[in-house]
Structure 1
Amino acid sequence: MSRTRIHNLSISLDGFAAGEGQSAETPMGHAGQRLHRWMIATDFGTRMMGGDGGSTGVDDAVAHRHELGIGSEIMGANKFGPPGWQDDPDWTGWWGDNPPFHTPVFVLTHRPRAPIEMAGGTVFHFLDVPPAEALVVARDAAGGLDVRIGGGATTAGQFIAAGLVDHLHLVQVPIVLGRGVRLWDGLEGMESGYDVEVVSTPSGVTHLTFTRRAE
């Protein structure tokens, strides 16, 4: 069976994966780009933003694992758009005409709409179902490859709490946000089911990889 994976999910020292006050102008709220500067500086991040010439090294090598062996993605409504995007029939996500996913993407929302087919093979589907049901649909679409849980923090936390995540890669960034959307609420003791690897890098971030233990 395919695995369920989370990659490059950046959190602050106080556990926030997004700032407060998300809007069309501030996708990450008051956090701005501070949670993701480590990734933006890498070759992977630079390429994702349409450029080239980013740094190589451990951060870049780990970030690149985001793409390997993925057949579909599940994301929450707040990753797909700012509050109120459901009222805009022309909203197709943050990523322009050719989003970086190139797979089926399943957006969890209480207000589903018709699928949106984009350039490059990305097709956004909109579901109003619990995490376990969404995973069944996404696995079927993945064609035997893995399913990525793309975030945000609320959606990632729901899948972790439901015991549905096989591989979790977090990046702890040395900043304190103080407010926003926390990852860890309700997940006390989750680490007991995983082997945990910790790697610190010269950029100042710490990569934490949780791999589910075989039963």
Structure 2
Amino acid sequence: MSSTRIHNFSISLDGFATGEPQSLEAPFGHAGERLHAWMFATPFCGGDGPAGIDDAFARRHDEGFGAEIMGANKFGPPGWQDDPDWTGWWGEDPPFHTPTFVLTHRPRPPVEMKGGTTFHFLTADPVEALEAARDAASGGDVRIGGGATVVRDFLHAGLVDEMHLVLVPIVLGRGVRLWDGIEALEDTYEIETVSSPSGVTHLSFTRKAVT
């Protein structure tokens, strides 16, 4: 069976995956691009940084995935559901190149984009959403793309096989926090950490084998 993975998911030292308030002009609120500056600097993302640790982790973003699940707040700013022409932040050729499932309380017909991305909008719990994504993934892994609320929901449901977090050395103080209500992940996952010269720390969580 395919794996369910989270990759390149950045959080601040105090656990926030986005700032506030989110808007069309500021997708990550007062955090700006600070949570993702490490990734934008990599050769994988067209930056002029070294082909080192950060680049190696960033490149895994495209490896082996056949579908993606994301929350409504990742797909667009507050109120995007009222705009029938809104097709996401990413232009005509989004970076997913797979069936992509957007969890929303206001579903709409699928939207086919260039490059192989088709957005499907559904109201579903994590188990139902994962079943739909696996059916569409053609044997590939399913990426849980965020935001923090969706990641938290899938962790609570016990559906995440691997998770790559990037701890960025900033303090946001407010926003959407990943860790609220999450505890004792060390009981379920093997956890490895790798520090990067850029200042970020990569944390890899791999589900422990059931004995």
TM-score in terms of structure 2 length = 0.98
Question: Residues 175-198 of structure 1: CA distance to partner in whole angstroms, max 9, x if unpaired?
Answer: 000000000001111221000010
The amino acid across from 1:63 in the alignment is A
**Paired residues of 1:45 and 1:54 also in contact (CA < 8 A):** no
Structure 2: stretches of 5+ with no match in the other structure = none
Identity of aligned residues (%): 71
Matching residue of 1:88: 83
Question: Residues 122-166 of structure 1: CA distance to partner in whole angstroms, max 9, x if unpaired?
Answer: 000001010110000000100111000000111011001110000
**Shift of residue 42 of structure 1?**
0.3
Among 65, 68, 86, the alignment partner of 1:70 is 65
**SS of equivalent to 2:61:** coil
**What's the Cα RMSD here?**
0.8
The amino acid across from 1:140 in the alignment is D
In the alignment, the residues of structure 2 paired with residue 78 and residue 191 of structure 1 have an alpha-carbon distance, to the nearest angstrom, of: 28
**Shift of residue 44 of structure 1?**
1.7
Matching residue of 1:40: 40
In the alignment, the residues of structure 2 paired with residue 106 and residue 155 of structure 1 have an alpha-carbon distance, to the nearest angstrom, of: 12
**SS of equivalent to 1:100:** coil
Matching residue of 1:12: 12
**Paired residues of 2:41 and 2:48 also in contact (CA < 8 A):** no
**SS of equivalent to 1:170:** strand
Q: Does 1:160 align with 2:155?
A: yes
Number of residue-to-residue matches in the alignment? 210
Structure 1: stretches of 5+ with no match in the other structure = 47-51
In the alignment, the residues of structure 2 paired with residue 45 and residue 34 of structure 1 have an alpha-carbon distance, to the nearest angstrom, of: 15
Matching residue of 2:95: 100
**Shift of residue 45 of structure 1?**
2.2
